[in-house]
Amino acid sequence: MIAILKPGATEEQISHLSQWLQRMNLKVHLSEGQDVTVMSLIGDTSRVDMELLGSLDIVERVQRVSEPYKQANRKFHPRDSIIDCGGVRIGGGYFAMIAGPCSIETEEQIIGVAQAVKESGADILRGGAFKPRTSPYAFQGLGADGLKLLLKAKEATGMPIVTELMNINHLDLFADVDVIQIGARNMQNFDLLKEIGRTNKPILLKRGLANSLQELLMSAEYIMSEGNENVILCERGIRTFETATRNTLDLSAVSQLHEMTHLPVVVDPSHATGKSALVPSMACAAVACGADGIMIEVHNNPAKALCDGAQSLTPAQFDTVSRRVHKIREAVR
Ligand code: PEP
Ligand code: MN
């Protein structure tokens, strides 16, 4: 349930109202926008007398929110959320380019790629240390050693870093990681979501291979309901009957999510297509339709990559995409 407050409501009146509602065991969340202030009530609102609440001096109107996602809902928070990722902002007009290899392989590789993508305008460095692989016989990532190398690349370039957390027991290793990625395969690992919800780290939450947008938002809700509101959503392609591409990039998700939620939406054209040749055009399309960021896999030698080489761009190809992306952003702004 939300109560839209009148513009003249004083802090004292708002605080009285909020205390009264909290006494009914409700969580009260205030979102102050330029034109309206929205008071969101989370919990069992069946005991709230909507008519009484709506008749109060400072209340403009009261509305029930039927969607099961509450804190992620744009109705609760009309303004776009801006998430600070180690000094780089995403959302609400701030756009970020995330680039780097699928997996961290060697010190030379990660630092080399980091320097190259930074030079080409990337804002955040990506690289997997703990890799969710379909086959147990495939390269599983360098684990803790990989994280150390990623931190070296962060130090060498000054770029914030994003990397995937698969197991909550590894959380201590992520102390200096700027953004925690929750991969598509763990989008509905609810225990993991609850645990990272108790941290204050920005979370890049990737859409599951076969999950609806509402399910994605319910997963964001798991994180937010534990107190962590720093969630960035990522569209990375979904499973369809099409086999020509690795997944099917659902670009309408960007606009649809922007209607449903205030959280930023990033597009990953690399995992969505699985083909380096398709990444540039899909990156441009994502920017054109209003994505708040893009994430692209870049490898110094894609043919020799230990993971996802077929969809990885070379640093030179990334440089070209980056220029095009910036031009498109200017055009659609
Ligand atoms: C990745 O980012 O390397 C990755 C494994 O992505 P996804 O979870 O989207 O498959
Ligand atoms: Mn990958």
pLDDT in tens, 104-160: 999 999 999 999 999 999 999 999 999 999 999 999 999 999 999 999 999 999 999
Q: 205: Cβ below 6 Å to ligand 1? A: no
The fraction of the chain above a pLDDT of 70, given in percent, is 100
Alpha-carbon distance of 26 to 6, in angstroms, equals 21
> Quick check: 97 pLDDT over 80?
yes
Alpha-carbon distance of 5 to 182, in angstroms, equals 36
Q: What was the pLDDT predicted at 47?
A: 87
Is the CB of residue 178 less than 8 Å from the CB of residue 160?
yes
Specify the residue with its C-alpha closest to ligand 1, atom 6. Answer: 183
Alpha-carbon distance of 247 to 261, in angstroms, equals 24
Is the CB of residue 250 less than 8 Å from the CB of residue 206?
no
Q: 184: Cβ below 6 Å to ligand 1? A: yes
Q: 271: Cβ below 6 Å to ligand 1? A: yes
Distance 271 CA to ligand 1 centre (A): 7
Return mean pLDDT, the chain: 96
Q: 236: Cβ below 6 Å to ligand 1? A: yes
Distance 3 CA to ligand 2 centre (A): 43
Cα atoms found within 13 Å of the Cα of residue 280, Cβ hemisphere only: 13
Q: What was the pLDDT predicted at 34?
A: 76
pLDDT in tens, 173-230: 999 999 999 999 999 999 999 999 999 999 999 999 999 999 999 999 999 999 999 9
Alpha-carbon distance of 228 to 200, in angstroms, equals 5
> Quick check: 35 pLDDT over 80?
no
**Mean of pLDDT values over 275-293:** 98
pLDDT in tens, 244-257: 999 999 999 999 99
Q: What was the pLDDT predicted at 36?
A: 83
Q: What was the pLDDT predicted at 32?
A: 86
Q: What was the pLDDT predicted at 115?
A: 98
pTM score, two decimals?
0.96
Q: Helix (H, G, I), strand (E, B), or coil: what is residue 97? A: strand
Q: What burial class does residue 188 get, using C-beta atoms within 10 Å of its C-beta: 0-12 exposed, 13-18 middle, 19+ buried?
A: middle
**Mean of pLDDT values over 88-116:** 98
Packing angle, helices 279-288 and 315-332, rounded to 10:
20
Q: 101: Cβ below 6 Å to ligand 1? A: no
Alpha-carbon distance of 294 to 126, in angstroms, equals 11
